[in-house]
């Protein structure tokens, strides 16, 4: 199976300004399901770092007091201790909107201050469009004299409160405020991926492109810049150490780094017209789907994205879509809630109009009946191609914010029947199939190995349609006309904006 059948070629990536490789071969990857799993593994790897090693990270939100284990340390202590050992610690945190709008401006600032006091450097990065954010969640650990130990973590899990949940889904003891239906400690489902091999070098390069971009960190006016100066924020990036060579090949996976950067003024030096490889990568893979698209997503609400699924469902009469989403948005309120609701209602209506009997949408709850907030961003297509990242299935993630995802192809075939679900000769691949089965076992409340009926797409659909005490059929309700009248424009303009150049908007292309 040539990688270009599923992955974007250099020309298809469409960003001549970046040095990111088209794709990287010879990697290994391990999905880390649940924040508790991820934080524990991250702690193990960070504590191995020695003087002269590198710890680079990007994040949407970072809470300095978030514990990575029940007995600590905190995120701030973990990274600050590394800096005190002589590790070169560099971080990019979204500068964020104001705390009174329920964002994380002060938390991100505090995390940076603690790491800086220990000798590291964390920048508050507001090089985004109006109303946009830096949404990437990435940690890269390099060992210049021990490249075989290099590792990177990417996916949907922020270094902050509410993320450190486990398979029991009783929530993180340190929680953020959410819609009241989720309770005081919202149950949380999320996925990160741990990567080794040459792709770590590509992710390192992705961090360096953003860190070294000469555009000023704050693009939103003199008031916020003055605020940063008064608070003695670091407004200038120090020079990074020389980039080590790529780690050696160590496994059978081909990984493609996909990103979103919006078209901006002034432009990113590494993406002068933006980058939409997330959108392009998903589009190419979805168009190749024949039997089963399995996805987990926080939003799934853009009509542009839903139209891709609808077209694939119409073109392939045996194709099924299984989606796992949150039961409720993460916000309450008469003004915040309707735009969230109307976006998903419109997207699912498009898919169901195309193939009502082949669209299966579910949400989750724990054993106490409390809804689980699905924050994962995972997609598996025909047990061949899969992705784990920070991007949601909406226009904002595909065009407007910064995002990072890893699309993965495994050289190793999975021989379980059906050995070639799509019938295209690609053959099921071990990593993609095992990722899907692991997630479905959890949602159905099954033990490891109890998945014989989940391998085949048809019997899999029967199993999920039967449901379980955890996997519940998702219901949407059509809003009354007087709410739709204002909620639809608010959803399109504020909640799901378009960051493409006008030429691409008019053409309807990514």
Whole-angstrom Cα distance, residue 219 to residue 145?
A: 38
Whole-angstrom Cα distance, residue 490 to residue 505?
A: 19
Specify the pTM: 0.95
| Average pLDDT taken over every residue of the chain | 93
Report residue 268's pLDDT band, with 50, 70 and 90 as the boundaries: very high
User: Which residue has tokens 């799509």?
Assistant: 422
According to the model, what pLDDT value does residue 229 have? 55
Q: How many CA atoms lie within 13 A of 167 on its CB side?
A: 14
Enter the CATH code of domain 275-495.
3.30.870.10
According to the model, what pLDDT value does residue 392 have? 97
| pLDDT tens digits, one per residue of 425-435 | 999 999 999 99
| pLDDT tens digits, one per residue of 154-174 | 999 999 999 999 999 999 999
Q: Is the model's pLDDT at 468 over the cut of 60?
A: yes
Whole-angstrom Cα distance, residue 347 to residue 61?
A: 28
3-state SS class at 386: strand
| Closest to 196 in 3D by CA, of 137, 136, 252, 260 | 252
Report residue 318's pLDDT band, with 50, 70 and 90 as the boundaries: very high
According to the model, what pLDDT value does residue 94 have? 93
Average pLDDT over residues 9-23: 97
Report residue 97's pLDDT band, with 50, 70 and 90 as the boundaries: very low
Whole-angstrom Cα distance, residue 8 to residue 182?
A: 39
According to the model, what pLDDT value does residue 343 have? 87
Whole-angstrom Cα distance, residue 188 to residue 169?
A: 6
**End-to-end alpha carbon distance in the chain:** 26
Q: Is 16 exposed, middle or buried (0-12, 13-18, 19+ CB in 10 A)?
A: exposed
Q: How many CB atoms lie within 10 A of CB 111?
A: 29
According to the model, what pLDDT value does residue 226 have? 55
Q: Is the model's pLDDT at 404 over the cut of 80?
A: yes
Average pLDDT over residues 179-195: 97
According to the model, what pLDDT value does residue 225 have? 56
Which residues make up the CATH 3.30.870.10 domain(s) of the chain?
Answer: 24-251, 275-495
Q: Is the model's pLDDT at 102 over the cut of 70?
A: no
According to the model, what pLDDT value does residue 359 have? 98
> Residue 24 belongs to what H/E stretch?
strand 24-33
Q: Is the model's pLDDT at 100 over the cut of 50?
A: no
Task: State how far Cα 491 lies from the chain centre.
Answer: 21
| pLDDT tens digits, one per residue of 319-368 | 999 999 999 999 888 778 898 889 899 999 999 999 999 999 999 999 99
Enter the CATH code of domain 24-251.
3.30.870.10
3-state SS class at 292: strand
Kindly state the percentage of the chain with pLDDT values over 90: 86
3-state SS class at 499: coil
Whole-angstrom Cα distance, residue 293 to residue 57?
A: 31
| Closest to 27 in 3D by CA, of 217, 198, 188 | 198
According to the model, what pLDDT value does residue 334 have? 75
> Residue 270 belongs to what H/E stretch?
none
According to the model, what pLDDT value does residue 232 have? 56
Average pLDDT over residues 473-483: 90
């Amino acid at each position: 199976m040539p990688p270009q059948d599923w992955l974007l070629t250099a020309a298809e990536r469409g960003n001549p300004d970046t040095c990111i490789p088209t794709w990287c071969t010879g990697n290994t990857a391990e999905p880390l399901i649940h924040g508790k799993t991820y934080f524990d593994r991250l702690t193990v790897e960070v504590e191995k770092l020695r003087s002269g090693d590198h710890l680079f990270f990007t994040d949407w939100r970072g809470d300095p007091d978030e514990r990575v284990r029940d007995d600590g340390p905190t995120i701030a202590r973990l990274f600050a201790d590394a800096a005190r050992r002589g590790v070169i610690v560099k971080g990019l945190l979204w500068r964020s909107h104001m705390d009174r709008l329920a964002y994380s401006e002060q938390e991100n600032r505090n995390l940076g201050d603690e790491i800086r006091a220990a000798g590291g450097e964390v920048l508050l990065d507001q090089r985004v469009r109006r109303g946009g954010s830096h949404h990437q969640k990435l940690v890269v650990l390099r060992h210049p004299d021990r490249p075989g130990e290099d590792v990177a973590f990417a996916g949907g899990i922020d270094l902050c409160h509410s993320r450190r949940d486990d398979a029991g889904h009783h929530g993180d003891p340190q929680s953020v405020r959410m819609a009241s239906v989720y309770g005081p400690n919202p149950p949380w489902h999320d996925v990160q991926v741990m990567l080794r091999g040459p792709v770590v070098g590509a992710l390192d390069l992705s961090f360096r492109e953003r860190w070294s971009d000469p555009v000023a960190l704050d693009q939103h006016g003199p008031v916020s810049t003055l605020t940063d100066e008064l608070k003695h924020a670091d407004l200038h990036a120090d020079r990074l150490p020389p980039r080590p060579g790529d780690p050696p090949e160590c496994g059978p996976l081909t990984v493609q780094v996909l990103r979103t950067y919006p078209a901006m003024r002034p432009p990113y030096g590494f993406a002068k017209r933006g980058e939409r490889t997330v959108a392009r990568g998903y589009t190419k893979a979805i168009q190749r789907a024949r039997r089963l698209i399995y996805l987990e997503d926080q939003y799934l609400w853009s009509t542009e994205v839903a139209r891709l699924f609808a077209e694939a469902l119409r073109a392939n009469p045996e194709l099924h879509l299984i989606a796992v989403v949150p039961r409720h948005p993460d916000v309450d309120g008469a003004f915040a809630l309707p735009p969230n609701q109307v976006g998903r209602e419109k997207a699912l209506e498009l898919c169901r109009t195309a193939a009502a009997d082949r669209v299966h949408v579910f949400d989750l709850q724990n054993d106490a009946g409390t809804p689980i907030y699905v924050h994962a961003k995972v997609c598996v297509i025909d047990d061949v191609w899969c992705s784990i990242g920070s991007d949601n299935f909406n226009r904002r993630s595909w065009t407007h914010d910064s995002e990072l995802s890893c699309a993965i192809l495994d050289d190793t075939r999975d021989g379980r029947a059906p050995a070639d679900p799509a019938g295209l000769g690609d053959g099921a691949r071990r990593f993609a199939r095992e990722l899907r089965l692991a997630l479905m076992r959890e949602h159905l409340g099954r033990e490891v190995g109890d998945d014989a009926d989940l391998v085949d797409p048809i019997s899999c659909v029967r199993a999920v349609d039967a449901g379980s005490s955890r996997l519940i059929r998702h219901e949407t309700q059509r809003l009354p006309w007087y709410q739709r009248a204002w909620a639809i424009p608010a959803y399109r303009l504020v909640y799901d904006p378009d960051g493409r150049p006008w030429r691409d908007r008019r053409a309807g292309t990514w």
